[in-house]
Amino acid sequence: MPSATRKPQSRRAARREAIRDRLLEVVQRLLDDGESFTEISVERMVQEAGMSRSTYYVYFEDKGDLLRAWFGEIESEIAAAVSGWWEIDADSSREDLRAALARVVEVYHPHAPLMAATYDAAEYDPSVRELVNAMMGANIASLRKHIRNGQAAGFIDPDLPPAETAQWLTWMAERAFHVFLRGLRPAQLRTQIDAYTAIVWNTLYAPVRTGA
Amino acid sequence: MPSATRKPQSRRAARREAIRDRLLEVVQRLLDDGESFTEISVERMVQEAGMSRSTYYVYFEDKGDLLRAWFGEIESEIAAAVSGWWEIDADSSREDLRAALARVVEVYHPHAPLMAATYDAAEYDPSVRELVNAMMGANIASLRKHIRNGQAAGFIDPDLPPAETAQWLTWMAERAFHVFLRGLRPAQLRTQIDAYTAIVWNTLYAPVRTGA
DNA sequence: GGTTGATCGTACAGTATGTCCGGACACTAT
DNA sequence: ATAGTGTCCGGACATACTGTACGATCAACC
């Protein structure tokens, strides 16, 4: 009998992580082959990972649980990358912005397929939807705050409506990351980052620079 | 017996349209209640429209066929609205741009729920996916051409990479229309159109104006 | 050698999709 | 009136996927 003090949860949690990673690898591969998460059945997933379906349901509540387990871990990594943007201020150059946005793209890029799967699953799985909405909400709120600060400090176009502009720009990035940056080779990202930088720079920061 | 010269297809086609509209009304209502198209079963749809499930399959191939039938008709309406944007040139004011974009938003807005459903169904229905990709591709190509023309004519920032910028801006609009403009009352659209105009104006046209 | 934990196979209920068919009903031409 | 035609309904069916349950198996470990 295992002692009551030795928590039995930790072994199980570790096992869950191992299985999760094994499955995510399979899912990633199937996604790269052009299938959507909705089209991938648990049976298929589990079979290609060499595991029985019943084992899956030992560790995961349902199909979406796999993505939820992954999302929780990745979220902070993304948030850390994005936070570099908020350090842009009156003293920053366009190159500084480019570096900050490039970092976001580069951190996001390897996770694009699974991220897209998560946004896909959000369409029919309410608990995934909640996660996704929370993340987007947080990102939008951060950018809105940055815009407000920048307007107060005079380095962001004062004519922009902060909340709405934050919404448009944040969702723009979301689509870009999931739809057309996905699958690009790192070298091909350069021009995409150029375009992203140009849009953000021209929209937010350029108007008050050329004017000054 | 109906004469062989009197095409029996026309009656059927008309009937199909009538049924399609009846069903789309139901779907629209369910979507407005916060459900996603994936979550709505044919059974439910058909039942709330007071029709049998077998009748549905007389007129439609599968679940996605309903959306495909609708999408074909609506596409040209959208395309017509967007084409106003391409008339912006060196002589146009920011107000002209705003009017053009406002028209796009206003034409799109009432169709937002069904459009979102179509983009949702694209995740698991390949033939819907094809339609959606074709439309986005066409829109992106139009904007890319506009950017190229504008750069040649000197009224659009020459530093922008045309293809990539077109991609980012087009997908930005897609998300906006489907995700957060959806459900807004017409009066609430004003500030959103302001933000949209500001982003497009600052990105494309403003840089070469303040500079000149 | 017996206990434990992890996994497997299988079976089951529930739900959805798409197909098929027989019957009911109305309209219409003869 | 009646037979043909178009339209719809209800139900049955095959298939597929989800999530749950349970007994069997196998390896590790005291």
Mind listing the pLDDT tens digit for each residue in A67-122? Answer: 999 998 999 999 999 999 999 999 999 999 999 999 999 999 999 999 999 999 99
Residues of chain B with CATH 1.10.357.10: 65-211
Residue B152 CB coordination number (10 Å): 10
CATH 3.40.50.150 fits B65-211, yes or no: no
* Spatial distance between the Cα atoms of B20 and B70, rounded to a whole number of angstroms: 8
Determine the distance between B58 (CA) and C22 (C1') in angstroms: 16
Residues of chain B with CATH 1.10.10.60: 1-60
Query: What is the second-level CATH architecture of the domain A64-210?
Result: Orthogonal Bundle (1.10)
Q: Given this model, what pLDDT does residue B2 score? A: 41
Q: Given this model, what pLDDT does residue A2 score? A: 39
Q: Which residues from chain A sit within 8 angstroms of residue B157, using beta carbons? A: 198, 202
- Strand D surroundings (CB within 7 A): A 41-43, 53-54, 57, 61-64; B 1-2, 8, 11-12, 15, 19, 50-55, 58-59
* Spatial distance between the Cα atoms of B85 and B83, rounded to a whole number of angstroms: 5
Q: Which long-range contacts (CB under 8 A, 24 or more apart) does B187-195 make?
A: B189/B105, B189/B106, B189/B109, B191/A161, B191/A164, B192/A164, B192/B105, B193/B98, B193/B101, B193/B102, B193/B105, B194/A161, B194/A164, B194/B98, B195/A160, B195/A161, B195/A164, B195/A165, B195/A167, B195/A168
D10 C1' closest Cα residue: B52
- B2-55 per-position pLDDT tens digit: 444 444 556 888 899 999 999 999 999 999 998 999 999 999 999 999 999 999
* Spatial distance between the Cα atoms of A138 and A158, rounded to a whole number of angstroms: 22
Question: Do B161 and A194 lie within an 8 Å CB cutoff?
Answer: yes
For chain D, which bases have at least one atom within 7 A of a protein Cβ? 4-12, 16-23
DSSP code of residue A178 = I
Sequence-separated (6 or more) residues with CB below 8 Å from residue A104: A78, A81, A82, A84, A85, A173
DSSP code of residue B109 = G
- A130-187 per-position pLDDT tens digit: 999 999 999 999 999 999 999 999 999 999 999 999 999 999 999 999 999 998 999 9
- A22-78 per-position pLDDT tens digit: 999 999 999 999 999 999 999 999 999 999 999 999 999 999 999 999 998 999 999
- Strand C surroundings (CB within 7 A): A 1-2, 8, 11-12, 15, 19, 50-55, 58-59; B 41-44, 53-54, 57, 61-63
Residues of chain A with CATH 1.10.357.10: 64-210
Question: Do A198 and B160 lie within an 8 Å CB cutoff?
Answer: yes
Fold (topology level) of A1-60: Arc Repressor Mutant, subunit A (1.10.10)
Q: Which residue has the higher pLDDT, A211 or B47?
A: B47
Residue numbers of B between 18 and 37 with CB closer than 8 Å to A: 36-37
Find which nucleotide's C1' atom is closest to B44's CA: C16
